Amino acid sequence: MKYALLGAAGQLGRDLQSRLQGEVVAWTREQADLTRPVELRAALEALRPDRVVNCAAYNFVDKAESDPTAAFAVNAWGVRDLALICRDLGCVLVHFSSDYVFGLDENHRVPWTESNAPGPVSVYGLSKLAGEYLVRSTCPRHFVVRTCGLYGVWGSGGKGGNFVETMLRLARQGKPLRVVADQTCTPTYTVDLAAATASLTMTDRYGLYHVTNSDSCSWYEFAQAIFEKAGVKADLAPISSWEFGAAARRPAYSVLSTAAYHALGLPPLRPWRDALTAYLDERGRKNPI
C-alpha cells in the first residue's frame, strides 16, 4: 500500500505518518501545495499512490472571517482539485473535516451524527463543509473524517502550538486565564485520531465518519483538567463566548457521535481525560523539565 500524505508538517500529519501501514510519502506545503493544482497533479501522477491522505488545511478560524478567500482557496477549491486528481488516478482520498460544520441549530444538545444536517456559523466552518461536499461529490472512494479540538505534541504549525501548551505557558507566566465555559466539544489527541484513522482507512467502508476521543467538556473544564493533571497552579476563571469576543462564532455544542465508526467494529477512542494524561506523559518524555 502506497500513501501520499499532504500537510505532513502539521500536528495530525506528523502523528499519522508513522501509523499508516505501508510506504508513506509525506509532503509538506512546500512539496505539495493545495493551491497549486498543476504541480500537485504532476507529483501525484508520478507517485501513483493507492491512497492520498490530506492533513493540510487553512486552520485560522478567526482570520478566515476577514479573509474568506484564503480559507476557501485551501479548504474548498484546493480540496476540490485534490479530489479531481484522486478520482482521475482512481485512488482513495482520506480527508479531515471539523465539528465547526455544526452550530447553526443552537438548540441541538445531543451528539451530532453524520446524518444530521450541518450548519456552520463561521467562514472556516463553511469552507470545511464546502470541502467535504466537494470530496464526497467528486471522488467516489473517499473517507471524510470529522474531528474536534485537536492537540498533539507537534502543535498546530500555523497556530504556533495547541490549547494545552497555550494554557500551560500562560499559567507559568502568572497570567490570569479566562476560558470559555459555554462551548462544549470533545478535545481529541492527535495520536488517538491517527491510530483510529489508520484502522478506519484499512477498511473499504468509504464515507463520512465522526472520530474523536470519548465524553465531552467545555474549554473551561478542559483547562481545569490540564492544570489539575499537570500540577500547575493557575488563575483560571470561566467566561462566556460573548465576553471573550473572538472574531469567529463557534458552535455552543459540537460533540460528535462516533457510533458509525464503532459500528464498523473498531474500538472506541479513550475518554478525553485519559487522552490528556497520555499527552502530558508524551510531552514530558519529549521535553523533560
Placement of cell 500513501 in the chain: 3
Query: Taking a C-beta distance cutoff of 8 angstroms, is the pair 93, 52 a contact?
Result: yes
Rank residues 119 and 157 by Cβ distance to ligand NAP and give the closer one.
157
Q: Which of residues 3, 77, 96, 209 is near ligand NAP by CB under 6 A?
A: 96
Burial tier of 38 (Cβ tally within 10 Å: 0-12, 13-18, 19+):
exposed
d(CA 50, CA 268): 27
* 103 in contact with ligand NAP (CB under 6 A): no
Q: Which of residues 12, 130, 168, 234 is near ligand NAP by CB under 6 A?
A: 12
Which positions from 217 to 236 touch ligand NAP by CB under 6 A, shown as an x/- string? --------------------
Q: How many residues bind ligand NAP (CB under 6 A)?
A: 28
The phi, psi pair for 193, rounded to 5°, reads -65, -40
Find, among 96, 78, 91, 93, the residue nearest to 47 by Cα: 91
* 74 in contact with ligand NAP (CB under 6 A): yes
Hey, what's the cell of 128?
A: 470545511
Q: Which of residues 24, 126, 150, 196 is near ligand NAP by CB under 6 A?
A: 150
- What are the respective helix, strand and coil percentages of the chain, to the nearest 5? 40, 20, 40
Q: Which of residues 68, 111, 158, 238 is near ligand NAP by CB under 6 A?
A: 158
The alpha-helical segments, DSSP class H, found in the chain are 11-17, 37-47, 63-66, 68-72, 79-89, 123-138, 163-172, 190-200, 219-230, 241-244, 259-262, 272-286
* 255 in contact with ligand NAP (CB under 6 A): no
Find, among 197, 62, 209, 168, the residue nearest to 124 by Cα: 62
Choice among 124, 189, 220, 253 that is catalytic? 124
CB of 174 to ligand NAP, least distance (A): 26
Rank residues 8 and 234 by Cβ distance to ligand NAP and give the closer one.
8
Q: Which of residues 122, 127, 156, 218 is near ligand NAP by CB under 6 A?
A: 156
* 11 in contact with ligand NAP (CB under 6 A): yes
Name the one range near ligand NAP by CB under 6 A: 30-38, 227-235, 247-255, 262-270: 30-38
124 catalytically annotated: yes
Report the interface residues with ligand NAP, using CB under 6 A.
6-7, 9-13, 29, 33-35, 55-59, 74, 78, 96, 98, 128, 147-150, 156-158
Give me the active site residues, please.
124
